[in-house]
Structure 1
């Protein structure tokens, strides 16, 4: 067989092999793609904003952390309400002013000696503003009081919570019954909420109001509930002295259920629960009036320490707990010597502190530390810059919650194009997201996205603020925009 015949035979055999036609029609090295073709697969910014159809205003910015340059911005200098994204600013404020080793201490003190099981004086429960104090912690203090040999208190149980100002509601504009807008004080318990539980029994209802934590469910006397034969309003509230009196519409209850309701007098609530826990230990004690100042002669019996500040902040950012944000913000402002008497005054202190860290910052206003109030204002560019200040990423990244983008079908992406940690924020017709993007290239980015239809929000009545018409659909579109922007920036600047 000559050479020509051999080559012809091999070619004929190759043509019979699977995939041979594809192999013959392709190059062993892919042809170079036109410059920038991959960028054209990333949705245009204007296209994403038009698709969201949010109305109102949207402010967005993304910054390269290494250079400090803004890579992309739309209305970046427009101040908008940050909602709970403000908690990221509060976290940084607390860490820088108080330090990561800061703890809150709740103390149990006596104004007299203990003789033969009797405390000859008052028993004092003194708070320092701990936002995480719960019924289990108070039960531990009652255990230690019993271990100290106390079975009777000759004086009275008195509470002292002047470490922070007493604030009746984080946002008075919210409906009374919403558990995320309770009171704030120097002595807080269970995020200043009481659990209302009901169960139908014949033609009536069995009702409990308790301070539950885990298996502990002490009944509460300073908060009461009455079922009324009506349809609306679902709840009414009245404060009588130190007690909270609620009514609920019978038609709204159904067979059984439960929900958290806010507490408006945290010191009285803590005293009520602690007295019950002491009773469970066989310790007899009556309630006395609160103390404004601790007596110099008071001696320590026991104390309870909170987690260090990073642990408190991690929980705050994960669950967006308003009480934690307000207590930490107030504590930091107090540590700076401000002694604020309101959330507005403390928020102004925090805004001034952040403005001093940012050269050439636009107007920054914080009405509180949680973002629950809608009068706070910060631009996306200043929020991204705030996240870009020296050492901020190192401090906040371990505390922020991972953000997993969704694909076109709405499912969480199993392999996202970048690692993202962020803080979300949601109010009626207000939505925000801010945090850090770290693609495989290691090029770290800080970003912030704020959207708000302020006129639509302002038109809501107080009663409509729990579930306004159109609110959920608007929030879904805002979240979708945030998702698509994070994916855009991950792909566009991650190479």
Structure 2
């Protein structure tokens, strides 16, 4: 991520560093084996291995569950531990997308506004200028600059009061999952005012015998410096990063021995409103708008809307969320949807519980438990049968399938098999020693299947210390075997149920 130019989509891509169905009520506990026209990795006929043999060959410690069903009727064709609740990891985002589509609608947009608390006289607001968010998880520095430009075009040059922020549309949370390492960008803070996926860009360069460091809110057009997050270089080997909160400022240190000649990375922001307010104040000053930066306000003010920017529609937001697996997007849209059903939840756990109740009411999923909307919290659980029920009962009504990303078929060595006859769209899910895949597979003859596969070695995952969770020993190999098993099972289903 070195270099000064980063588009909003590039920033988003960087986050890659989730009424009962009668037809599913009697899902078989073991395989049904109808006659089939097998497809091999090259498309030629071969004998399909049994599912149990594939699971045994994968040599995965822990538990494996799967369900595959006819996507049109919901009839279960094959299953293994279908009712066993397991961590869904980021496939939970598929449930979140369904929840948000039903509660908010595909055309829903987030609005970020600038509000004047008093009249404008001679270009000067007689009161405060308040940056008010509705939670937009995709707001970036470019759109914040556009907001400042629109305010200037409206004739505003300053204020007798201060520039303040209101972030109360959503609860303010310091992190998505407190069990994650402090420095990982996929578990930032959340509030009703979010910027750049609540991450700050940290860059370092050699300077004499030491380093020069910068913290900024960069985009492809702007590079505003940030002081609400600060970095000091410390002469040590480990730990690579330390973090503490001091006076509302994210204070980081980094080990000099880990820096090399230079580089950059995104770090999580724990004070989203303060971060967005500081950047907006800087961008407004660049437009010639003069006002001091003040404390946040506790209530959304009454006043005149000076400027507004809107997010993309919800369908677009969800498509990007499912493609890039952005945790903050899942949490924000999930909480927004939960709040639309009544009072705003006070925590992710409370909001996730509301989504679980919603899913139970829609498809009878009485085993599903969510502690968040992204799947980052490992305490979330759902059975494969419940996930497939959501895919066969809710998705056709709400249009989830069109938002899922294509999954290429690969051989056992991990090489993409171009031109493979099976068309797969799905949501992936990966945690340490947890791997999941849920979606659809269509064969050339029109056979259309819905599936969910959850694999987890929870005892091994639970033994990890917080410091080990970014890259634990053995996790990459375990997840690689799990992903290979998932594709071999899909290949098996293509062999058994086509023709």
Q: What is the TM-score normalised by the length of structure 2?
A: 0.90
Conserved 8 A contact 1:318-1:401: yes
1:170 aligns with 2:172: no
In 2: Cα distance, 1:73 partner to 1:51 partner: 18
| 8 Å CA contact retained: 1:107, 1:127 | yes
1:426 maps to 430
* 2:335 is the alignment partner of 1:325: no
Equivalents in 1 of 2:395, 2:373: separation in Å?
21
Change (3 A) 1:469 1:147: same
Structure 1 residue 295: Cα displacement: 2.8
Please tell me whether residue 295 in structure 1 is matched to residue 301 in structure 2: yes
CA shift at 1:443, angstroms?
Answer: 2.2
Contact 2:87–2:381 (Cα < 8 Å) also in 1: yes
Q: Which residue in the other structure is 1:22 paired with?
A: none
Contact 1:133 1:189 in 2 (8 A): yes
Whether the 8 Å contact between 1:156 and 1:288 is mirrored in structure 2 is yes
Residue correspondence of structure 1 range 192-341 to structure 2 within 5 A: 192-296=198-302, 298-341=303-346
Matching residue of 1:478: 482
- Alpha-carbon separation, structure 1, partners of 2:36 and 2:376: 43
Deviation at 1:475, TM superposition (A): 0.8
Report matched runs for 1:7-22 at 5 Å. none
Say if 2:388 is the partner of 1:384. yes
Q: CA deviation at 1:439?
A: 1.0
Q: Which runs of 4+ in 1 moved over 2 A?
A: 35-40, 390-394, 407-410
Distance 2:119 2:214 in 1: 38
Q: Equivalent residue of 2:451, what SS?
A: strand
Q: Structure 1's 479 and 393: CA in aligned 2 closer, same or farther, altered over 3 A?
A: farther
Is the 8 Å Cα contact of residues 196 and 258 (structure 1) preserved in structure 2? yes
By how many angstroms is 1:112 displaced?
A: 1.5
- The 3-state SS of whatever aligns with 2:399 is helix
SS at match of 1:41: coil
Output one character per residue of 1:331-356: Cα deviation in whole Å (capped at 9) or x when no partner. Answer: 00000004200000000000110111
Decide whether the 8 Å contact of 1:322 with 1:372 is kept in 2: yes
Measured against aligned partners, the alpha-carbon deviations of 1:268-316 in whole angstroms (never above 9, x if no partner) come to 00000001101111221111111121233x1110100001100000000
C-alpha separation between the residues in 2 aligned to 1:223 and 1:105?
26
SS in 2 for 1:285: strand
Which runs of 5 or more structure 2 residues have no equivalent in the other structure? 1-34, 39-44
* 139 and 36 in structure 1: CA distance in 2 versus 1, 3 angstrom threshold: closer
Deviation string 1:436-459 (CA, Å, 9 cap, x unpaired) is 111112221110000000000000
Given candidates 338, 347, 350, the residue that maps to 1:342 is: 347
How far did residue 36 of structure 1 move?
Answer: 6.2
In the alignment, the residues of structure 1 paired with residue 343 and residue 127 of structure 2 have an alpha-carbon distance, to the nearest angstrom, of: 35
Question: For residues 390 and 37 of structure 1, do their structure 2 counterparts lie closer, same or farther at Cα, with a shift above 3 Å needed?
Answer: closer
Gap runs ≥5 in structure 1: 1-34
| CA positional deviation for 1:37 | 8.1
Separation in structure 1 between the aligned mates of residue 487 and residue 209 of structure 2, nearest angstrom = 49
CA offset digits 1:367-405 (Å, max 9, x no partner)? 100000000000111111111114537601210000111
1:428-443 map, 5 Å: 428-443=432-447
- Note if contact 1:387-1:393 (Cα within 8 Å) is conserved in structure 2: no
The SS at the match of 1:214 is coil
- Alignment check: 8 A CA contact 1:92 1:392 kept: no
Match of 1:12 in 2: none
1:363 alignment counterpart: 367
Question: Does the Cα contact within 8 Å between 1:417 and 1:487 map onto a contact in 2?
Answer: no
Question: In 1, Cα distance between the equivalents of 2:336 and 2:411?
Answer: 41
Contact kept? 2:98, 2:395, Cα under 8 Å: no
Q: What SS does the corresponding residue of 1:407 show, helix, strand or coil?
A: coil
Q: TM-score, normalised by structure 1?
A: 0.91
* Cα pair distance change 1:452/1:162, threshold 3 Å: same
Q: Alignment partner of 1:143: what SS?
A: helix
Deviation at 1:491, TM superposition (A): 2.2
CA distance in 1, matches of 2:260, 2:436: 35
For residues 498 and 297 of structure 2, the distance between their equivalents in structure 1, rounded to whole angstroms, comes to 58
Distance 1:145 1:349, change over 3 A: same
* Partner in structure 2 of residue 398 of structure 1: 402
Distance 1:40 1:327 in 2: 47
Report the counterpart of residue 359 of structure 2 in structure 1. Answer: 354
Shift of 1:41: 1.4
Counterpart for residue 185 of structure 1 = 191
Per-residue deviation, 1:408:
3.9
Give the Cα separation in 2 of the matches to 1:390 and 1:40.
Answer: 35
Q: What are the within-5 Å matches in structure 2 for residues 78-157 of structure 1?
A: 78-157=84-163
Change (3 A) 1:249 1:134: same
1:455 to 459, 467, 473: 459
Q: Matches of 1:85 and 1:51 in 2, distance apart?
A: 24
For 1:16, the equivalent position in structure 2 comes to: none
Deviation at 1:66, TM superposition (A): 2.6
Distance 1:139 1:163, change over 3 A: same
Larger deviation: 434-443 or 319-328?
434-443
